[in-house]
């Protein structure tokens, strides 16, 4: 099997666009539609034509370019069943347990409500990649606009079940700001201290900090670490259950 190609490019202020391409079939998908001209330019640069849009959620910086791209390319739009009425031009509705194919590559779909009620993520186990939209970020997680901490924690647990070496493609470059918060709640986490320095160095050179890996997030992302005693002590939640520790961490970040 050839490799699955992921082409990453910046969009808008701090979004990332992703084109996913299967060389064997020649098929290409864009993960969300943050910026039609950036996506069109990327397609031109790679000499790829667009076959699919895989939407993660309804926000305008994720689905706002759907109709224009569909009009231009005739692509098929795949999106969350739970939010079908808010995904412009949706053709194929998917949810937990479903999968979508790009050539021979299978992307398993998981419902990850929390940031929005209908958020979904796409996991291609054979390629070792996950597209997580605004559910998980490098050192962060999405704001809870339409869900409860319990829902979001359950969503994050689905991602935590993926293999440790999974490359995590999130939708925004928020890592440097997230690192400042993470250090405030786990100031003595050695892995985090090292990572934070590497992030500052990368950003000083204008380099992306995405993708990340699940193993690195497990060691350093406070939203995935409710069982960390150090975190529990810092936020005054020693011995509380994961949902309550997660909820308090999210609340602190909202006011950071």
Active site residue 51: no
Residue whose CB is less far from Zn ion, 133 or 222? 133
Q: Out of 35, 111, 134, 173, which residue is the one contacting Zn ion (CB under 5 A)?
A: 134
Tell me, by CB under 5 A, how many residues bind Zn ion: 2
Name the segment binding Zn ion (CB under 5 A); options: 132-140, 151-159, 181-189, 239-247.
Answer: 132-140
Residue 107, beta-bridge partner list: 100
Residue 194 is given by DSSP the state H
Name the segment binding Zn ion (CB under 5 A); options: 47-55, 72-80, 126-134, 230-238.
Answer: 126-134
Determine which helix (DSSP H) or strand (DSSP E) holds 146, and give its type and residue range. Answer: none
Residue whose CB is less far from Zn ion, 32 or 186? 32
Active site residue 164: no
How many residues are present in the chain? 256
Name the segment binding Zn ion (CB under 5 A); options: 11-19, 130-138, 186-194, 216-224.
Answer: 130-138
- Interface positions, 23-82, toward Zn ion (CB under 5 A): 59
Active site residue 172: yes
Active site residue 21: no
Measured from the Cβ of residue 126, the count of other Cβ atoms closer than 10 Å reads 11
Active site residue 134: yes
DSSP code string of 134-197: TTEETTEE---SSS-HHHHHHHHHHHHTS-TT-EEEESB--HHHHHHHHHHH-TT-HHHHHHHH
Residue 102, beta-bridge partner list: 105
186 vs 184: CA distance, rounded Å: 6
Q: What angle do CA 185, 117, 140 make, to 5 degrees?
A: 20
Active-site position among 21, 58, 110, 115: 115
Active site residues: 57, 59, 61-62, 115, 134, 172
Q: Contact positions toward Zn ion, by CB under 5 A?
A: 59, 134
């Amino acid at each position: 099997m050839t490799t699955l190609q992921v082409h990453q490019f910046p969009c808008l202020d701090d979004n990332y666009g992703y084109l996913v391409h299967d060389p064997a079939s020649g098929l290409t998908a864009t993960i969300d539609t943050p910026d039609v001209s950036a996506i069109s330019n990327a397609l031109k640069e790679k000499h790829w034509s667009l076959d699919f849009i895989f939407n993660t959620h309804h926000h305008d910086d994720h689905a706002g370019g759907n109709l224009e791209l569909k009009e231009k390319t005739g692509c098929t739009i795949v999106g969350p069943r739970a939010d079908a009425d808010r995904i412009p031009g949706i053709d194929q509705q998917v949810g937990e347990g479903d999968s979508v194919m790009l050539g021979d590559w299978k992307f398993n779909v998981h419902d990850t409500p929390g940031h929005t009620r209908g958020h979904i993520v796409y996991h291609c186990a054979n390629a070792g990649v996950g597209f997580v939209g605004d559910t998980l970020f490098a050192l962060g997680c999405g704001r809870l606009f339409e869900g409860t901490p319990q829902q979001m924690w359950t969503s994050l647990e689905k991602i935590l079940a993926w293999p440790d070496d999974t490359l995590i493609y999130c939708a925004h470059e928020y890592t440097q700001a997230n690192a400042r918060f993470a250090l405030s709640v786990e100031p003595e986490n050695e892995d985090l201290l090292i990572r934070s320095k590497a992030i500052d160095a990368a950003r000083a050179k204008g380099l992306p900090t995405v993708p990340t890996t699940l193993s690195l997030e497990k060691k350093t992302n406070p939203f995935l670490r409710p069982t960390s005693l150090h975190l529990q002590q810092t936020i005054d939640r020693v011995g509380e259950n994961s949902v309550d520790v997660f909820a308090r961490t999210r609340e602190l970040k909202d006011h950071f």
